[in-house]
Structure 1
Amino acid sequence: MAKAILTDSKVRGLKAPKGKRLEVADTLVPGLRIRVTPSSKTWVLRQRAGGKVRTMTIGPFGNDAGEFTLAAARAKAVDMQATIAAGAVIAPANVRRANEGGERMADVIDTYMTRGTGRVKNPDSYRWMFDKYVIPHFGDWQLEAIKRRDLADYLDTIADRHGMTTSRRVGGLLKRLFKFAVSRDIIEADPAAALILPGAEVQRERTLTEAELRALWVATDPASRGNERNKAGRLAAHPSMFPWGAYFRLLLLTGQRRGEVAGMRWADIDLKARTWSLASTATKSARAHLVPLPPAAVALLEALPRLSATVDGKDVPSPYVLTTNGAAPISMFSKPKGWLDAAMRKALGDDLDHWRIHDLRRTVSTGLARLGVEPFVRRRVLNHALQGVDAIYDQFDYLEPKRAALDLWAAEVDRIVNGEPKAANVIKLEREA
Structure 2
Amino acid sequence: MATANSRGSYAARERTRLTQQHVAKARRLIAGDALQGRGLDLADTECQGLVLRVTRRSGTWLLKHRAGTVRLGDIEALAVDAARVAADRARLALKEGRDPSVDARVFEAAQARGMSMEDALDAAYPVEVEVQSDEDRLRDGPWQWGDLIDQFLAAKLPTLKPRWSAQFERHLLRAAEGPLRHRLVASLAQRDMLAVRDRVAKARTLSAAADTVEAVKACLSWGKRFHGHLTGLRGHPWWQDELEVEWASTPRDRTPTLEELGRTLALAERHKALGATGKETAPGMLAALWAVVLTGQRAGALTGTLRKTVRPWPERPGWEIWSWTAAEMKGGRPHAVPVPPEALAAIRRHRTDPTSPHLFPSRLPGKSVTPVGMTQWFDRMQGKEKATKGGGRTGRPAGDLFAQHDIRPWTPHDVRRTLAAYLDMERLGGAASAILAHRPPSVKGDPGQERELAQAITLRHYIHSQRLDLKAEGMSAWVAAILAAYEAEAAALHSS
- In the alignment, residue 245 of structure 1 is paired with which amino acid? L
Q: Alpha-carbon deviation of 1:305?
A: 4.2
CA distance in 2 between partners of 1:130 and 1:354 (Å): 31
- In the alignment, residue 183 of structure 1 is paired with which amino acid? R
Structure 2 partner of 1:354? 409
- In the alignment, residue 130 of structure 1 is paired with which amino acid? L
Q: Alpha-carbon deviation of 1:302?
A: 4.7
Is 2:290 the partner of 1:244?
Answer: no
Structure 2 partner of 1:88? 70
- The 5 A counterparts of 1:193-342 are 193-194=240-241, 195-221=243-269, 224=270, 236-239=278-281, 241-272=282-313, 273-303=319-349, 305=351, 307=353, 317-323=355-361, 324-331=363-370, 332-333=372-373, 334-341=375-382
Decide which of 448, 467, 472 is 1:398's aligned counterpart: 467
- Ranges in structure 2 where 5+ consecutive residues have no aligned partner: 1-64, 75-100, 107-123, 125-136, 314-318, 384-397, 443-454, 456-461, 490-496
Q: Deviations over 1:379-407 (max 9, x none)?
A: 4322346799x9xx965422222222222
Answer whether contact 2:301 2:329 (CA < 8 A) is retained.
Answer: yes
Answer whether contact 1:320 1:329 (CA < 8 A) is retained.
Answer: yes
Is 2:220 the partner of 1:188?
Answer: no
- In the alignment, residue 298 of structure 1 is paired with which amino acid? L
TM-score (norm 1): 0.62
CA distance in 2 between partners of 1:254 and 1:280 (Å): 18
CA distance in 2 between partners of 1:263 and 1:84 (Å): 61
Structure 2 partner of 1:168? 210
Q: Alpha-carbon deviation of 1:266?
A: 0.5
Q: Deviations over 1:2-48 (max 9, x none)?
A: xxxxxxxxxxxxxxxxxxxxxxxxxxxxxxxxxxxxxxxxxxxxxxx
Structure 1 partner of 2:188? 146
Cα distance, 1:414–1:108 mapped onto 2, change above 3 Å: same
- The 5 A counterparts of 1:364-383 are 364-374=419-429, 377-383=431-437
CA distance in 1 between partners of 2:73 and 2:360 (Å): 48
CA distance in 2 between partners of 1:280 and 1:90 (Å): 55
Cα distance, 1:229–1:136 mapped onto 2, change above 3 Å: closer
Cα distance, 1:163–1:339 mapped onto 2, change above 3 Å: closer
Answer whether contact 1:292 1:402 (CA < 8 A) is retained.
Answer: yes
Rg (Cα) greater in structure? 2
Cα distance, 1:387–1:199 mapped onto 2, change above 3 Å: farther
- In the alignment, residue 154 of structure 2 is paired with which amino acid? T
Structure 2 partner of 1:58? none
Cα distance, 1:112–1:371 mapped onto 2, change above 3 Å: farther
CA distance in 1 between partners of 2:274 and 2:156 (Å): 51
- In the alignment, residue 418 of structure 2 is paired with which amino acid? T
- In the alignment, residue 358 of structure 1 is paired with which amino acid? H
- In the alignment, residue 263 of structure 1 is paired with which amino acid? G
Answer whether contact 1:156 1:198 (CA < 8 A) is retained.
Answer: no
Q: Superposition RMSD on alpha carbons, in Å? A: 3.9
Structure 2 partner of 1:28? none
CA distance in 2 between partners of 1:231 and 1:130 (Å): 34
Q: Deviations over 1:246-290 (max 9, x none)?
A: 111111111112122221111011144511110112222222111
Cα distance, 1:263–1:115 mapped onto 2, change above 3 Å: same
- The 5 A counterparts of 1:405-416 are 405-416=474-485
Answer whether contact 1:279 1:288 (CA < 8 A) is retained.
Answer: yes
Cα distance, 1:363–1:146 mapped onto 2, change above 3 Å: farther
Cα distance, 1:356–1:155 mapped onto 2, change above 3 Å: farther
Q: Which has the higher helix share?
A: 2
- Ranges in structure 1 where 5+ consecutive residues have no aligned partner: 1-82, 309-316, 421-433
Answer whether contact 1:265 1:319 (CA < 8 A) is retained.
Answer: yes
What is the SS of the residue equivalent to 1:281? coil
Cα distance, 1:346–1:153 mapped onto 2, change above 3 Å: closer
Q: Alpha-carbon deviation of 1:304?
A: 5.3
What is the SS of the residue equivalent to 1:282? coil
CA distance in 1 between partners of 2:171 and 2:422 (Å): 33
CA distance in 2 between partners of 1:260 and 1:387 (Å): 24
Answer whether contact 1:256 1:382 (CA < 8 A) is retained.
Answer: yes
Greater CA deviation, 248-257 or 167-176? 167-176
What is the SS of the residue equivalent to 2:327? helix
Answer whether contact 1:238 1:340 (CA < 8 A) is retained.
Answer: no
- In the alignment, residue 254 of structure 2 is paired with which amino acid? R
Aligned residues: 319
Is 2:142 the partner of 1:102?
Answer: yes
What is the SS of the residue equivalent to 2:323? strand
- In the alignment, residue 414 of structure 1 is paired with which amino acid? L
Cα distance, 1:418–1:229 mapped onto 2, change above 3 Å: closer
- The 5 A counterparts of 1:36-115 are 85-89=67-71, 98=106, 102-115=142-155
Decide which of 177, 186, 199 is 1:136's aligned counterpart: 177
What is the SS of the residue equivalent to 2:252? coil
Answer whether contact 2:275 2:380 (CA < 8 A) is retained.
Answer: no
Q: Alpha-carbon deviation of 1:413?
A: 0.7
CA distance in 1 between partners of 2:267 and 2:274 (Å): 17
- In the alignment, residue 184 of structure 2 is paired with which amino acid? Q
